[in-house]
């Protein structure tokens, strides 16, 4: 095989891995085929990725960064003081990306890949945190503005606080347990609604899930966000 004269970059490797993912799912992302499509030898590719797991890690990190960028741009297009609209825009961007990139969405949020585990200090850590911060910052703004609908601490499930992991947020941005509960609940339900739509599980009830899904996400936001306080009457 004649070696390609193009520089073997991470972007080129990820692009081919993505093509293979779309064509055949995670099992199709293998070193030999990636090397063949890049017109390089497997040993040359091993200098950048030591095996299938490294290829998947590079791909997942790239996809998470792409998704985070889309959500950040949608959020930042909204006026800074309108946290509810920011949440709606970021959620819509997440849904749009998922529907346009179903194979990629399934890689990140679908069935765990047999035999694969993301490295604890690998690039997916930073890309995952970046995506999470998009929504964490919006929930934090809702909390500071008094707009996040908060359950009473006594209504939280018994033992819930003991299950919480250390937050990477700075000390002055830490969420109280009730806010963590709302954030986790909101993200879980958002992800669930989008996952069902991406997988096409609503075809038994409707020819298009677009109107239904948008309404469900709007209703979820209504459950999480308190109405804007009325100003003093004249």
Task: Identify the pLDDT of residue 170.
Answer: 73
Kindly state whether residue 208 falls inside one of the protein's structural domains.
Answer: yes
| pTM for the full predicted model | 0.91
Average pLDDT of span 45-65: 95
CATH number at residue 125: 1.10.357.10
Domain that holds residue 40: 8-50
Q: Which residues contact 53 (CB under 8 A, 6 or more apart)?
A: 116, 117
Kindly state whether residue 233 falls inside one of the protein's structural domains.
Answer: no
Kindly state whether residue 132 falls inside one of the protein's structural domains.
Answer: yes
Kindly state whether residue 163 falls inside one of the protein's structural domains.
Answer: yes
Kindly state whether residue 143 falls inside one of the protein's structural domains.
Answer: yes
Same domain? For 45 and 96 the reply is no
Kindly state whether residue 166 falls inside one of the protein's structural domains.
Answer: yes
Same domain? For 14 and 125 the reply is no
List the alpha helices (DSSP H) in the chain: 10-24, 31-38, 42-46, 52-76, 83-100, 102-109, 123-144, 177-198, 210-224
Same domain? For 25 and 108 the reply is no
Same domain? For 17 and 86 the reply is no
* pLDDT at residue 234 greater than cutoff 50: no
pLDDT digits (tens, 9 = 90+) for 99-150: 999 999 999 999 999 899 999 999 999 999 999 999 999 999 999 999 999 9
* pLDDT at residue 40 greater than cutoff 90: yes
Same domain? For 201 and 115 the reply is yes
Give the SS3 label for residue 34: helix
Same domain? For 219 and 159 the reply is yes
Kindly state whether residue 1 falls inside one of the protein's structural domains.
Answer: no
Kindly state whether residue 106 falls inside one of the protein's structural domains.
Answer: yes
How far is it, in rounded angstroms, from Cα 8 to Cα 42? 12
CATH number at residue 45: 1.10.10.60
Same domain? For 43 and 130 the reply is no
Same domain? For 139 and 174 the reply is yes
Total structural domains within the chain: 2
Same domain? For 78 and 41 the reply is no
**Residue 68 burial (CB count, 10 A):** 22
Same domain? For 44 and 89 the reply is no
How would DSSP label each residue in 9-23? -HHHHHHHHHHHHHH
pLDDT-derived band at 17, boundaries 50, 70, 90: very high
* Structure-token match 């919480």, residue found: 164
pLDDT-derived band at 192, boundaries 50, 70, 90: very high
How far is it, in rounded angstroms, from Cα 1 to Cα 73? 43
How far is it, in rounded angstroms, from Cα 210 to Cα 205? 12
């Amino acid at each position: 095989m004649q070696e390609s004269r193009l520089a073997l970059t991470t972007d080129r490797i990820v692009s081919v891995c993505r093509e293979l993912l779309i064509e055949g799912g995670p099992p199709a992302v293998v070193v030999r085929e990636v090397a063949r499509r890049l017109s390089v030898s497997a040993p040359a590719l091993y200098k950048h990725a030591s095996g299938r797991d490294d290829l998947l890690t590079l791909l997942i990190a790239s996809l998470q960064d792409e998704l985070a960028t889309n959500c950040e741009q949608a959020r930042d297009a909204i006026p800074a003081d309108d946290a509810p609209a920011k949440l709606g825009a970021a959620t819509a961007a997440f849904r749009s990306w998922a529907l346009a990139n179903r194979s990629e969405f399934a890689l990140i949020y679908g069935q765990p890949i047999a035999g694969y585990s993301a490295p604890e200090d690998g690039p997916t850590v930073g890309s995952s945190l970046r995506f999470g911060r998009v929504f964490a910052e919006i929930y934090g703004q809702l909390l500071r503005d008094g707009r996040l609908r908060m359950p009473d601490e006594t209504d939280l499930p018994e033992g819930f606080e003991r299950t919480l992991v250390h937050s990477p947020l700075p000390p002055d941005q830490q969420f109280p347990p009730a806010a963590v509960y709302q954030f986790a609940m909101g993200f879980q339900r958002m992800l669930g609604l989008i996952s069902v739509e991406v997988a096409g599980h609503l075809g038994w009830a409707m020819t298009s899930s677009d109107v239904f899904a948008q309404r469900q996400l709007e209703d979820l936001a209504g459950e999480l966000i308190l109405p804007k306080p009325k100003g003093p009457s004249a």
